[in-house]
Structure 1
Amino acid sequence: MRLRELLDGDELGLRLLVGRGAGDGPDGVPDRLISAVPTIDLADPGRFLTGGELVLTGLAWWRGDGDAEPFVRVLARAGVTALAAGEVEHRLVPHDLVRACRLHGVPLVAVPPETSFATITERVLHRLPRLHRRDVGSLAAMVERHRRLLADRAAPDSVLELLRQSLGLDVRVLSATGRQIAGAQPALRPGTASALAARYLAARRAREEAPYRVGVGERLYCLVPVPGAAGPAAELGDWLVVVEAGTGSPTAPDVELLDRLVELLADARSAHERSNAARRDLARRSLDLVSDSGVPAEEIPVRLRSTAQAVISGVGTWPRCQYVVAGGEWQGGRPVPASALRVLLEEALVQEGGAAPVSAQDIAATVDGDEVVLMVLAPGAALDHAALRRRLSAALARWLGPADSVCVGVGTPVADPGNARRGLAEARNALRIAREGPERVTVRGPADLTAHILSLLPLIPADARRAFAERHLGPLRDHDRRHRTQLLATLEAFLDCDASWSRTAARLRLHVNSLRQRVARIEEVTGTDLGRLETRLDFLAALRAV
């Protein structure tokens, strides 16, 4: 029976609330076949569905706005024909349910209080041929599954959910850092996912032949790489299929199924990389415009808006963004490939509990020499530097050596394209500050530039800093060397004690009068007056510059 025929019967009083989707007739009423009529009032109906059903629900599971979307999402993935909602429980069909059905393209039918679900079920079953009812339902479900597989080749979650429902097979897709990209929920425990990713990278670098069989605890997993782009950062951007494996050797049908699944996921990865390419183009064009000193400042907003509109379809305004710039060094001073850093930063940003609630679609990245520049699009809040450093450290744990380093600079959020140049400059300046840090992974932001005037020293070229320090401290160093005095150490202690005579004397174990004589000698040798704040700041900067 078709849904259209059920709706045409006036005696049932059914009303179509949502019905313009794929497979609809010319007048907008769905022409889909009904293969079964289950009544479901559980919040998660997935295990009872195979596709083609007219699902009847009394809405006992609905309590308020937000409850409908997960319920309808499961129906859409299962490929049901329609959802019929009774009006007895809430006296009407909640708008939350109407909105969710429109979002997922699931036809929605309102069932009035006077019409029983038993009457609807009897009407449908009466039309199905008695001898072939089960076969027709199975065939319709199979056709619907095939239709969904063809339509959702670029949506891994839909394909993997169909496998779970049809075969009870839990399949997950992980990144090379252990982040779950798609697949069964709940996700693997972080320790398990991290161990699987580490084993995958080790096998790949050892040129072992896939699939890889890996044991974690008492469980055995099969890992298969999903083909993708090549390049120096390829392994870090890899996708891997994770399936819990049995103790015996895989059968031929198992291998065939896995091969076909990897082909579908390769299409999904290609679609993902194509969308990444558009965002990277946006980042490249934005960087070129903002960095080009020949572009007048007043023209930048207009050009950036048009660039965003040209690259990101449907964008009518400048996307609020935050610039992130990063660079790294291997032991010995060789730069870490910027393309690899780009992947690692993207992973660190999108991981759950990361620096900001952003998705992979919110990041536009490009490479600028040995540095990577990211535009984090429309973040709800400024990036959390501590969370970014924590996630980045975790992503780098198995990849960087003990003497290697990665530094990251973050600018303030840019709400208007007229401030883009300043936001990028802040990120670059923060990166210069980060390069001075002793940590293996260092993240700095605008607050680190303004917390103290001396934090601006790294923005001055190294040669200029050395010359400045030598001009102020050289005479004292020469005097100490010739006369075996400790004027330089005295000056450093004096400044460190905020020019307090008593505290400095106590630290150096001198009488205050002896300290005054030393300070007077420092002023004589350098031709300065340490009673002036400007003089003390100059000497403090000189000491920090070396």
Structure 2
Amino acid sequence: MNDNRPTARPTERAVLATTATGHAPTVADVLALPVLAAGQPQVVTGVTHLDRPVRWVHITELTDPASFLKGGELVLTTGMPLPDDSAGVRRYVDELADVRAAALVIELVRRYHRPPEVLVRACRARGLPLITLAEDVNFLEVTQVVHSLILGSQAEAMRRTQRIHEAFTALTLRGAGAGEVVRAAAEMSGHTVVLENLMHQALICEPSGSTVEEALTGWEQRSRAIPYDEYDEYDESKTDGSGTTDWLVASVEYKGERWGRLAMLPAPADGPAFGPEHLTVLERTAMALTVARLIHPTPWERTAHRNALRDLAGQRHRSPADARARCTALGLPTEDSRYRAILVGLGTSTMDEGALLEAHLSQELRATGTQALVGELAPGRVGVLLALRPGRPWRPVVQRLSDAARAATPQATVTVGSEVTDLHDSARSFREASRVAEATPPGQPLPPDRSFHELSDIGLRRLLYALREDTRIQDYARRRLGHLVDHDIRHGTDLLTTLRHYLDAAGKKTTAARRGGVSRETVYQRLRTIERLLDCDLESGEQRAELHVALTALDVVRFRAAGGHGT
């Protein structure tokens, strides 16, 4: 039974466009050329191997043509030299398959009018494409046309290689960082490119034609399947001439020692196959990264953590699955874990202080065996995302981390968000930690039992402090207390202090008098004046509560106006 079927026939212009990309024409490309299409080619066997590249065309009437081949040739014959015996035919096919000939094309005009069944069986057994021509074809013209295409593709490949070298030279000269270099590699190659360290943690992933989830799911296991001492160079002989391999990898060095490696992943089914230019891109990427590591002193692991944290806090991932795949590839547990965000505010600090604290906290977490991402989220603010096993108490971990932060930077303020069970929800924990930080004035006393602040610490004063920039809060304080403040300024009185003592004493006039160091009659007189100026009833619990809020708001606004140094 034959696999006879007509070949696809794209126009010659389409074939030329394919070879103009720098790739050698395939068997399918060659069969579609008018010079061969005129012979009415039929694919008898090997239809799934028509994507093999054609390196050369070889016309032969020898019984042992394989001795003159190097692989990748399209073999043209009239069929005259084929042996008469079955063993000879099988040997003829075996020799062509062993040298990896691209395909065997036999003209059914002179000796045969249909291909011998033994030839068909032999080609099918070895996966060698067998194509028959029903009409006479000028083999010399075929070689001229195909060879011109091949030479053109080789010239274009050289031009592409030159452009690759120029692009990476430009990146190196302007001091591009690792992320930009890997991004350029993905764009130039059309393949996903991943930078990993020696621990098989994926630090940078630039997907092309796929998602981060598809690229990084099961990353460590997949990466460890390719030993570091195996350099997976492009080699068509590995892949039956299809031009694809599992991965292309290249080592990345730092100060003469291997630091990690790059991996270029296979493209989706409709994407570009690996070719020699992809290996060039990978090699130049590795060289550019070596230079980038020397120029940019920040360790890439820290940069990877920092970028992952910023994307989690800002919910900038394409999907929750992408977030989980990325963090898993960085070594953070994403299954059966609880997450909690911590922010360390440094106040006024330099970039070096933030980087030093980042490194110090990372070391502290490693010493306790705590899985976490650590990174500077903004100048003067370092973020930590803890990943804790269910049942493990979080307070001792945060307390130790807070103590370490304050020991390294005494002015540091540590705030904590609530626990979340889904990594994607960690943005909520970061928002809560940020709100606690916004509600924590400089110099705010610490709770008696810990050195960090959490949501439960936010009372009225700290809530209003967090809202101090809101003009509605400022306007409320002005409307309720403005006349009283103006009176004190014009007459040199201190009725505002008397009101404070009265409100703090929950309306007890005797306690207010004792606190103010005045008599009860003086307090009575001042309170009546306050009621007249503010048009209020101080015996009303509701109005006392309103005035207490206004007075607290005035305190925090004055705190802001004084630069945070007092009221």
For the superposition of Structure 1 and Structure 2, which TM-score range results when normalised by the shorter chain?
0.3 to 0.5
TM-score using structure 1 length:
0.40
